Structure 1
Amino acid sequence: MKPKIICHIFSSVDGRLLNERWTRPYDGKAPGEICGVYAEVGKELRTQAWMFGKNTLQQLYFPEVFIHAEKDETRDVTTYLGHRASERLFVVADPTGEITYTSDTVRGDNIVTILGEQVSGSYLKHLRDMGISYLFAGTDGCDLPLAMHKLRAEFGIRSLTLQGGGMINGSFLKAGLLDELSLLVYPGIDGLAGVPSIFEYLGGEEEFPASGQALELLDASVLENGVVKLHYKFHRI
Structure 2
Amino acid sequence: MRSATATLAKAYLLWFLPGLLLQFPLVALGSALRATGIIKPAVGFQVLSVLLNIVLAPLLIFGIGPWPRLGVTGAALATFISILVADVLIIIYFEKKYHYLRFRFPLFTPQTRIWGGMLRIGVPAGAEFVLLFVYIMLVYAIIRGFGPAAQAGFGVGARVMQALFLPVVALSFAVSPVVGQNFGGRRADRVRRSVYSAIGIASVMMLVLTLIAYLAPAALIGVFSHDPRVIAFGSDYLRIVSLN
Same fold (TM over 0.5): no
TM-score (norm: length of structure 1): 0.22
State the structure with bigger RCO (CA 8 A, min sep 6), 1 or 2.
1
- Structure with the higher fraction of residues in strand conformation: 1
Q: TM-score, normalised by structure 2?
A: 0.22
Structure whose CA Rg is larger: 2
